[in-house]
Chain A
Amino acid sequence: EADIYQTPRYLVIGTGKKITLECSQTMGHDKMYWYQQDPGMELHLIHYSYGVNSTEKGDLSSESTVSRIRTEHFPLTLESARPSHTSQYLCASSALGGREETQYFGPGTRLLVL
């Protein structure tokens, strides 16, 4: 069972607000990821990190930013939310090395920007 947590689970917010989506894992995983998923669509990688102070942009361009100050914590921030940011945001983590490096997902945050 993966121990990865996301808060809030649901968020409804007005245009222009700054928001931070939290993601924490207690497995000591070095690698962490953020994906964006619209209903019925595939997951798209928007950010990833290989460890503390390491952050990279993913394959899908995103106006969000991330930080990795602690191994267990990988928050995602939107400085000014817009309706186009409405989506589900999924955080995942995996251990460095090993045969599989399976990514384990958190429960997700459903964001609605009005």
Chain B
Amino acid sequence: DAKTTQPPSMDCAEGRAANLPCNHSTISGNEYVYWYRQIHSQGPQYIIHGLKNNETNEMASLIITEDRKSSTLILPHATLRDTAVYYCIVRVDRGSSNTGKLIFGQGTTLQVKP
């Protein structure tokens, strides 16, 4: 699975959009981009995933560049409860021999400030 690079930390003002970048320049054509977050002392929470099209759900939007070498997770109106570590993971979602295990990096610690 391709490696990802994320900034170690970011701040965001409450009510503003939080834009979290992820670089995955070695991504291959069949690899998906997944985002999870982990609020302190809790298990990781799935946010969103995509292959090449932009995706949106009730939690966030995922913007993937046309060359797929980077992506941005957007939390449109950040609240204090969005303070967490955000992980960007790239993974193949095909193949009977693929166990689907996740390989986490260090993630980005997002601090939402009042």
Query: Are A and B a genuine interacting pair, yes or no?
Result: no
Taking beta carbons and an 8 Å cutoff, which residues of B are in contact with A?
A: none
Interface residue ranges, A against B (CB under 8 Å): none
